[in-house]
Amino acid sequence: MFPSNNFFPSALAARTPRRGWLPVLAASALLAACTSGGPAPERGVDTAAVQAARAAASAAEAARASASASQPTPLPESVVFASGMTLRMLAYAERVRLMQPAELTQEAGRLGDAASPEAQIQLSLVLSQLRQLPELIRAQELLARVLGNTEAQALHPLARLLASRYSEQRRLEEQLEKQNQQLRDVQRRLDQTNERLEALKAIERSLTSRPPVAPASAPAASRPRPAAP
């Protein structure tokens, strides 16, 4: 009785992926030897052939699984949308960073009230570059509006990052403003001290520049009378 064509190496190689055909050919050769019309092999040989066939099948299955795993999984549409919007915001932030103060004021006027979440983040970026404490507080308020908008979930990670940065910048601005106020107070007291010192110097100059006072003449009663003739 001849073996079926399904056990021929060529048929198995054609049905098996290319990456795992060598183990399958070896297993098929052993199975063909076990089913041939020659003398009956020993039981140990049959067991080895079956194990080899199972190992070849496992290797082929592992190769197919590895090929499937190597294909990247497409990202969700929401993630792609959020990534694109974040990249646009980062590009806008870089453009704003290079603007002059006059250009920043003009850009803030162009954005106006910033009704949309995207415009609110853009306006906050512009205001943060003005380096003024009131404008920085307004930028924080704009970010709070974005974070409170449930329809702007894609911008929330960027808004939280900017809010953290603005908080640190505001702390530094307040510290700088406090130091500047202390310097102004010291300068004011120094000016007052200089004014008093100049007033004292003027008084001293006026005293030293007066002419000396002539001694007063003796009274007439104290003069000696002329001798009688």
Task: Decide if 191 is inside a domain.
Answer: no
Together in a domain, 28 and 107: no
Average pLDDT, the chain: 74
Q: What pLDDT sits at residue 32?
A: 53
Q: What is the DSSP string of 33-98?
A: HHHSSSSPPPHHHHHHHHHHHHHHHHHHHHHHHHHHHTSPPPPPHHHHHHHHHHHHHHHHHHHHHT
165 and 101 in a common domain: yes
pTM: 0.50
What pLDDT score does 14 carry? 47
Q: Among the three residues 172, 192, 207, which one is the final residue of a domain in this structure? A: 172
Q: How far apart are CA 229 and CA 225, in angstroms?
A: 12
Quote the number of domains for the chain.
2
Q: How confident is the model at residue 55 (pLDDT cuts 50, 70, 90)?
A: confident
Domain that residue 52 falls in: 5-68
Both 100 and 147 in one domain: the answer is yes
CB 159 within 8 A of CB 121: yes
Integer CA distances (angstroms), 204 to 98, 172, 192, 207, 210, in order: 58, 48, 19, 5, 11
In a domain, residue 146? The reply is yes
DSSP 3-state of 160: helix
In this prediction, residues 111-132 reach a mean pLDDT of: 89
Q: Is 207 inside any structural domain?
A: no
d(CA 161, CA 147): 11
Percent of the chain exceeding pLDDT 70 equals 60
Mean pLDDT within 6-27 = 47
